[in-house]
Amino acid sequence: MRRTGILLVWAASVIAPGCAVSGFKGMAPMAEYSADSEAMAARDARGVADTPDAPPSRGEPSRATEHTAAVQPRKVVYTARMEIIVADLEHALGEARKTAEGLGGYLQHLASSRITIRVPAEKFNAAVDALTKLGPVASRDITAQDVTEQYTDLEIRLANARAALKRLQALLEKASNVKDVLAIEKELIRVRTEIERLQGRMNLLKNRIAYATITVSFRRAAHVSGHIRVKLPFWWLSQLGLETLMDF
Amino acid sequence: MRQAILATVLAGAAVLGGCEMRLDMPDNFVTVDEGSLGPYDVRGVSADGMVLAARREPNAENGTLAFWTEAVKRELAARNYTLGRSEEVESDGGLAGTLMTFSASRGGRPFTYMTAVFVTSSMFDDGEVFIAEAGGEESILTPRQDEIRKTLLTIRSAMW
């Protein structure tokens, strides 16, 4: 029973979130990450916008790293927010959607003048280029978030939790009294729940890495050049809108 | 005769600006004292930044609801507001009006702006235009849009 107790404590400590995990197993991946991050820093120095032509982080190792088994490919989440001025909102929204679908992506959210699309990460630059052709870009915010550390940490915690599960299952087979069986089964439930939780987080992270997220807000062009706009002689019309309403 | 005198008195008081516009503010909106400086008769604000307001403006000769609806749409479209919806409505007091819902981006964030326009008629002058407005961040206003819509339709003169 004492041995069982010790093993249960061990199992619990191994899968406890954010504890000893990165201390003993996380060291090697972190060192690999540091080596890899030099290349990233050099690339970042050139600017983020030209980074993700063919993002090296799709989760598949590149040719350069294939033979260096220990080196983890970088995991990067690409996000873009853009504001584009267009003459025809409906047309622009439709074109943005077609762009996503044409590149193997999909529509995530559609509002009256805003659209969020997801495209395969390696098509991120192509998608941004296609969208900028819809009209003048009023603002653009592109982010490449390196999640390698988060990914590695999750991988290790999942592996440890699965190892703990196997140990507990082996222990359960050897348990000789009801008290031990109950204690081990309680721990098994906890470990299984933890594995499901970690797996869920891992799936989400993998999806964010595999598909870049692009949100475009379209703004209708104020006027068509060559047209003269007659201002009506009612001063209060110019005081309609958010600017006056929300100004205290 | 007595009725005619009463109507004249009421209309006169209204024309002289003795009655302010009112809105039945929803729960968790506080009413801001507008004094006589701003364009609004009444304005209310919620802690999360939604604003409601009402005002009145003199109508012009032949100023119909269709005229003011079109004028409001064009004015706001020229300032990059996108009209999402325009609907015929009736205020709780029985005035016919138009409720328009616009979206706009401010500082890269999506906002919603709603305005309802009503036109009154009068035996003595061209009547008035009643305007009710609401605005706030899209993520905050959208879940309460039905409630805000109902509030805009409560617009009335304090004399009523």
Which stretches does DSSP call E strand in chain B? 21-22, 29-32, 42-46, 51-58, 82-90, 96-106, 109-119, 128-137, 156-157
| Residue in A229, A237, A246 closest to B72 by CB | A237
Tell me the residues of A at the B interface, defined by beta carbons under 8 Å apart.
81, 83, 89, 111-114, 139, 141, 217, 219-220, 222-223, 229, 232, 234, 236-242, 244-246, 248
Beta bridge partners of B135: B51, B113
**pLDDT tens per residue, range B32-53:** 876 655 788 899 999 999 999 9
Task: State the ipTM, two decimals.
Answer: 0.86
Contacts of B146 (CB under 8 A, 6+ apart): none
DSSP state, residue B30: E
What homologous superfamily does CATH list for B20-157? Answer: Mog1/PsbP, alpha/beta/alpha sandwich (3.40.1000.10)
CB contact under 8 A, B108 and A111: no
* End-to-end CA, chain A: 71
The residue type of B26 is P
pLDDT averaged per 10 residues in sequence order, chain A, 248 residues: 51 42 30 34 35 41 42 87 86 93 93 90 95 88 91 95 95 92 94 94 93 91 60 87 88
CB contact under 8 A, B108 and A229: no
A231: how many CB neighbours lie within 10 A of its CB?
10
Residues in chain B: 160
| Residue in B32, B57, B135 closest to A242 by CB | B135
Report in angstroms the alpha-carbon separations of A132 from A7, A122, A168, B94, B105: 59, 18, 56, 48, 18
To the nearest whole Å, the CA of B32 is away from the closest chain A CA by 9
**pLDDT tens per residue, range B98-114:** 999 999 988 888 999 99
- Pick among B105, B117, B137 to test the A interface (most A CBs inside 10 A): B105
Chain pair A-B, CB pairs under 8 angstroms:
76
Rounded to whole angstroms, the Cα distance separating A229 from A216 reads 28
Look-up of token digits 């692009």: A214
Could you tell me the residue ranges of all domains in chain B? 20-157
